[in-house]
Amino acid sequence: MTKTVDDAAPSGRALGTLADLVADGEVVILSGAGLSTESGIPDYRGETGRTRRAEPMTYQTFVSSAPARRRYWARSHLGWRHIARAAPNAGHRAVAELQARGLLAGIITQNVDGLHQAAGAREVIELHGSLDRVACLSCRRRSPRQDLHRRLTAANPGWHAVAAEINPDGDAVLTDEQVETFRVVDCHRCGGLLKPDVIFFGENVPRPRVEECFSLTERAGMLLVLGSSLTVMSGYRFVRHAAERGIPVAIVNRGPTRGDSDAVVTLDAPLGAALTALLRELDAQ
């Protein structure tokens, strides 16, 4: 039976059950956007996402429409500044600490913000890629996002816009008038289309990456989901994979998730507070 607590500073039996599972080690983390909301990055479906109607770019639209690419890059150029300034929060630092204590077998993140690594975590599998890299769709060359940021800044002297809000993927909300004069640059090596090295909606995660995550899940002592509603199959499939093999699943998230029925314990609480409390519980054992 799933045990749940809903408390700003979780404690009690559910937290103790989670700590006992984590203390056994070989934990695989599966993190989602809810882990980064305390760093100022909103999510699509959680507490911050419910107030917005996000319309993320699809891969098909991006590759087929020059106006759509101009709109995307104008909005992303401005939004990237927000993502690049974001700092790890207590939840990211707690995950890095669990890894430093030798309790983790691996980290899979659905996030594209790089905050796990910024907190000190190592060998993170970025399921959906990372915004700090750019890929050419022709020559496949990858380059740092900061290089593109400098090129776009140089190509748009005097361009200035103020975002109404920032979406989870670093996409700033701008008006059509704000983006119509923005100039896009192409790959400086081959002239091909540039795309952030992330998985857009309508695009498949590379099969080798998916297989690596399945393999990691199969070897796990437990799967710990952090800040994901598991609405999309991209992450939920690993929960199902673990549950079908009798691997314990635990979930820490704000609000219910698609995987709650697969979990042996859930915590409905802010991620930073919950993971900080988890570390204290482990220290007390």
Tens digits of per-residue pLDDT, 147-184? Answer: 999 999 999 998 877 665 666 666 777 888 889 999 99
Task: Please choose, from the candidates 283, 269, 281, 277, the residue with its C-alpha nearest in 3D space to the C-alpha of residue 35.
Answer: 269
Catalytic residue among 82, 128, 149, 160: 128
The domain defined by 3-284 carries CATH number 3.40.630.10:
no
Say whether pLDDT at 11 is over 80.
Answer: no
pLDDT at 12 (0 to 100): 81
| Vertex 266 angle, CA 264 and 267, to 5° | 155
* Neighbour count for residue 27 (Cβ, 10 Å): 23
Token duo for residue 244: 């079908």
Q: Are strands 249-253 and 265-268 parallel, antiparallel or unpaired?
A: parallel
Q: Which amino acid is at 86?
A: A
Say whether pLDDT at 272 is over 90.
Answer: yes
* 110 labeled binding residue: yes
* 46 labeled binding residue: no
DSSP 201: B
* 187 labeled binding residue: yes
What tens digit of pLDDT does each residue of 76-118 get? 998 898 889 999 999 999 999 999 999 999 999 999 999 999 9
Say whether pLDDT at 275 is over 70.
Answer: yes
Mean per-residue pLDDT for 122-138? 97
Q: Is 188 a catalytic residue?
A: no
pLDDT at 6 (0 to 100): 42
* 32 labeled binding residue: no
Alpha carbons 81 and 78: distance in angstroms, whole number = 6
* 190 labeled binding residue: yes
Mean per-residue pLDDT for 2-15? 60
pLDDT at 15 (0 to 100): 95
* 191 labeled binding residue: no
pLDDT at 9 (0 to 100): 53
pLDDT at 121 (0 to 100): 98
What tens digit of pLDDT does each residue of 19-55 get? 999 999 999 999 999 999 999 998 755 444 444 445 6
Rg (CA), the chain: 20
Domain boundaries of the chain, sorted by first residue:
3-284
